[in-house]
Chain A
Amino acid sequence: MKKIPVTVLTGFLGSGKTTLLNRILSESHGKRIAVIENEFGEIGIDQALVINADEEVFEMNNGCICCTVRGDLIRILGNLMKRRDKFDHILVETTGMADPGPVAQTFFVDDDMKELFALDGIVTLVDAKHVLLHLDSSSECKEQIAFADVLVLNKTDLVSDAELDALERRVVGMNSMARVLRSTNADVPIADVLDVGGFDLDRAVATKPTFLSPEYPFEWAGTFEVNEGEYLIELEEGPDKTMGLIAAYLSGDEEAGSPEAAERALRTWSSSAIQASPSSRLSVDGRRVTLQLDAAGPKRFYLRALEAGRIGLYTEHLPAEFQLRLSRGDAPLSIISEHEFAAGHVHDAEVTSVGIHLEGAIDGKRLNAWIGQLLREKGTDIFRTKGILNIDGSDDRFVFQGVHMLFDGRPDRPWGSEHRASDLVFIGRKLDRQALTQGFEQCLV
């Protein structure tokens, strides 16, 4: 029997949940949709079955401290399934202050719910104008953003483009897995919120490029044309004492910001870096260099190009932040194109995403032990996890996803000609990027 998809709508009061709900109901002709609400909304659609229920969060006595479920959903959805014309889709609208964790866990912990329903996605509406009032102070607001598969930045007409871009960077810094949509009146395409596959392992894999793209460790890539010879990189004081940099040749008329070129840079970025103090001589060799910038005043580095051609320069921070200049003799080198990557480190102080990319094969046993212990100890603070892993001795990709301490994984399709590597993303509170990276690295064969 096909499982019935469930979409969870979260967001603070006034973020546009009811507007979106009404749009979904009025545009989903012929679909039988049941809506479970926890606060009285203004749903004006007759054909939908709207059920109002008190939100009841139960703790499971299974030794797992963060394992909470929604008892009202288990009861109501169980009863709803006792009819011949079953529903095509279930929408759960949570209260503004709800933590989405228990809703999501309900569909993984309870046997009946697991058998009958498939959680399709968590859609969080964000009031672009007012969210900043809550974002720093409210853990519920952060959790709603952190848990989301889709983030709808709504009421965009009330803020400037710059404010909107800043907000998007902020929410992506918290949750790099979510797809971000913008709307003025919750007018997003229905398929983008009802057919998300956020907890579907096959789909998690299919959407891999999007779940990784905001996680590049560099913020900027520039494309330049060089001749054989030495170039000068000059930097002023900036916001950080070090900066990672890669200079690599590109093929043909490739752009540094293209997905293929960025993917290559990403791979080398995960290998160990060469430390470079001012006046060091570097070369266009595709290796990661950490520029030491703690000395006062302008700092110079020399970059040698062994042959003429097109190169890509990848920097951890935006060049403007350090007034970075690239020149030969006295002539500044003109840039062919540049690309900004969604900054991995516009980080909320509390809730962040940590994406880790590793080359090399992973030892399955060590990984299991590490993930198991990690989720046992830090499960309360880790909201969601997704991974595609290159397991030693297996020709298939291993995919997995988790909510708090609950996770499931399995071998997926063969790697074939695809580059074998492992990617892991955690979203959570007070995540220690360094400890997570080290833990993951210790799983390498």
Chain B
Amino acid sequence: MPGLTPQPDRGSALIPRWRIQAGDYVAEARISRDGQLCVVGTGDGTVVGVDAGEGRELFRARAHDGGVLGLTISPDSTQLATCGQEPVAKIWAANGELQRELPGGGASWVEHVAWSPVGGRIATAAGRKVRVFGADGQLQTEMDPLASTVSALAWRSDGTALAASCYGGVHIWPFVAGAKNRHFAWKGSLISLAWSPDARVIACGSQDSSVHFWRLAKGEDSQMSGYRSKPKALAWDADSKLLATSGDADVTLWDFRGKGPEGSTPIQLEGHDAVCTHLAFSPHKTLLASGAPDKAVLIWEPRRDTRAVRHALLEDEVTALVWHPELSIVGGDAGGNVSMWAMS
């Protein structure tokens, strides 16, 4: 019960670098690979561009009629794509100028948009339809409709394949000549997807409070259950060895070294007062950031300590979390606050 148990040690406070007010619920936040640009999408459909170094607002555009649902930045940091509560996605220049619209292919909202990590392609998901566009905005491919609405979309780290999850399993479409489409059936509603950086494992959170994963080489699958609620957030560390999962106040990490997590005891990180909803591993060092409705952003070194090493507080529940390549972290909350903190 809050207030009756002593607050676990959360380490020293993170050092704030800048803070802005985005205007409404922070639905998504992204930082460009060159570290220059931070982009935030909000619940009222606004996209705000911020100089990631100083927090200076660069542009603010009304992007979608309803709220922003997805946001992605091109790997060369020159363009971004957004989607929201309308049936089109939009491509923008890095200065906030609208370049073109990408129709999702029906009346459904485009709920997901993902730029290939090597550039050249943008994938969208609207209802049961997955489409792939060129960087010029030309439609390249429309996949056969899935069995149900796409719940998550992710590119393979080398950009050679695209994966989507839905109720009924995971689909993988390769973009190399001769390779075949793959489908991993699972009778359950998958709600989140994370593809390991080494491309060997796809992990999905499931509506029935479990994490299901597939080792792609042989197509073997496993399930981790016992979560209090559905694991909305999943994150792989840069070495593809640790999978961090939400679904409880404690963050649970499964170790994929050696024989893998089956039958092993996971690492449990104790520090949040509410079910953790956001997770992000730093791109280089093995630092994990977590966020929850308790307003806290906690930083962990999961292999060394199960207590948080650093912490910061937002003003409302944490709704977005993203690392800057130079070991800073950006968090957003349901009240529109966006903060960047430095580790040192």
Do these two chains really belong together in a complex?
yes
- Residues 57-73 of B, flagged 1 when their CB comes within 8 A of A and 0 if not, give 00000000011010000
Which residues of A, 219-241, contact B by the 8 Å Cβ criterion?
none
Are A58 and B167 also in contact (CB < 8 A) when A71-B149, A79-B67, A83-B44 are? Answer: yes
In the complex the two chains form, what is the Cα distance from A49 to B24 in whole Å?
Answer: 18
Which residues of A, 1-54, contact B by the 8 Å Cβ criterion?
49, 51-54
In the complex the two chains form, what is the Cα distance from A51 to B108 in whole Å?
Answer: 9
Are A56 and B148 also in contact (CB < 8 A) when A79-B69, A84-B43, A110-B207 are? Answer: yes
Q: Across the interface, do B167 and A56 meet the contact criterion of CB distance under 8 Å?
A: yes
- Residues 38-67 of B, flagged 1 when their CB comes within 8 A of A and 0 if not, give 000001100000000000000000000011
A52, A58, A80, A82: the one within 8 Å of B207 (CB): A58
Q: Across the interface, do B111 and A111 meet the contact criterion of CB distance under 8 Å?
A: no
A445 within 8 Å of B by Cβ?
no
A438 within 8 Å of B by Cβ?
no
B66, B69, B207: the one within 8 Å of A71 (CB): B207
In the complex the two chains form, what is the Cα distance from A85 to B229 in whole Å?
Answer: 27
Q: Across the interface, do B187 and A79 meet the contact criterion of CB distance under 8 Å?
A: no
In the complex the two chains form, what is the Cα distance from A315 to B319 in whole Å?
Answer: 64
B107 within 8 Å of A by Cβ?
yes
Q: Across the interface, do A83 and B43 meet the contact criterion of CB distance under 8 Å?
A: yes
In the complex the two chains form, what is the Cα distance from A82 to B109 in whole Å?
Answer: 15
A51, A71, A82: the one within 8 Å of B25 (CB): A82
Distance in angstroms from A32 CB to nearest chain B CB is: 13
Q: Across the interface, do B151 and A75 meet the contact criterion of CB distance under 8 Å?
A: yes
In the complex the two chains form, what is the Cα distance from A61 to B168 in whole Å?
Answer: 12
Q: Across the interface, do A54 and B128 meet the contact criterion of CB distance under 8 Å?
A: yes
Q: Across the interface, do A111 and B230 meet the contact criterion of CB distance under 8 Å?
A: yes
In the complex the two chains form, what is the Cα distance from A83 to B84 in whole Å?
Answer: 12
Which residues of A, 81-113, contact B by the 8 Å Cβ criterion?
82-85, 110-111
B127 within 8 Å of A by Cβ?
yes
- Residues 137-170 of B, flagged 1 when their CB comes within 8 A of A and 0 if not, give 0000000000011010000000000000001000
A272 within 8 Å of B by Cβ?
no
Are A54 and B230 also in contact (CB < 8 A) when A72-B149, A83-B67, A84-B24 are? Answer: no
B206 within 8 Å of A by Cβ?
yes
In the complex the two chains form, what is the Cα distance from A74 to B192 in whole Å?
Answer: 14
Distance in angstroms from A346 CB to nearest chain B CB is: 41
A75, A83, A84: the one within 8 Å of B149 (CB): A75
Q: Across the interface, do B108 and A83 meet the contact criterion of CB distance under 8 Å?
A: no
Minimal Cβ-Cβ distance residue in A for B293:
A115
In the complex the two chains form, what is the Cα distance from A274 to B108 in whole Å?
Answer: 66
Q: Across the interface, do B107 and A52 meet the contact criterion of CB distance under 8 Å?
A: yes
Q: Across the interface, do B167 and A71 meet the contact criterion of CB distance under 8 Å?
A: yes
In the complex the two chains form, what is the Cα distance from A52 to B25 in whole Å?
Answer: 23
Distance in angstroms from A224 CB to nearest chain B CB is: 62
Q: Across the interface, do A83 and B127 meet the contact criterion of CB distance under 8 Å?
A: no
B189 within 8 Å of A by Cβ?
yes
Neighbouring B residues of A61 by C-beta, 8 Å:
187-188, 206, 208, 210
Distance in angstroms from B210 CB to nearest chain A CB is: 8
Neighbouring A residues of B189 by C-beta, 8 Å:
58, 60, 71
B27 within 8 Å of A by Cβ?
yes
A62 within 8 Å of B by Cβ?
yes
A59 within 8 Å of B by Cβ?
yes
In the complex the two chains form, what is the Cα distance from A52 to B87 in whole Å?
Answer: 11
Residue from the set A52, A53, A61, A84 with the largest chain B CB neighbour count within 10 Å = A61
Q: Across the interface, do A79 and B85 meet the contact criterion of CB distance under 8 Å?
A: yes
In the complex the two chains form, what is the Cα distance from A69 to B206 in whole Å?
Answer: 14
In the complex the two chains form, what is the Cα distance from A336 to B230 in whole Å?
Answer: 65
In the complex the two chains form, what is the Cα distance from A405 to B200 in whole Å?
Answer: 40
Residue from the set A58, A82, A110, A111 with the largest chain B CB neighbour count within 10 Å = A82
Distance in angstroms from B65 CB to nearest chain A CB is: 9
Neighbouring A residues of B229 by C-beta, 8 Å:
111
Distance in angstroms from A113 CB to nearest chain B CB is: 11
Q: Top 8 A-B pairs ranked by shortest CB distance?
A: A83-B43, A82-B43, A61-B208, A82-B25, A58-B189, A111-B229, A84-B24, A61-B188
- A residues at B contact (CB < 8 Å): 49, 51-54, 56, 58-62, 69, 71-72, 74-75, 79-80, 82-85, 110-111
Given known contacts A61-B187, A61-B208, what 15 new A-B pairs fall within 8 Å (CB)? Answer: A52-B108, A54-B108, A54-B127, A56-B167, A58-B189, A60-B207, A69-B207, A71-B148, A71-B167, A75-B111, A75-B151, A82-B25, A83-B25, A83-B66, A110-B207
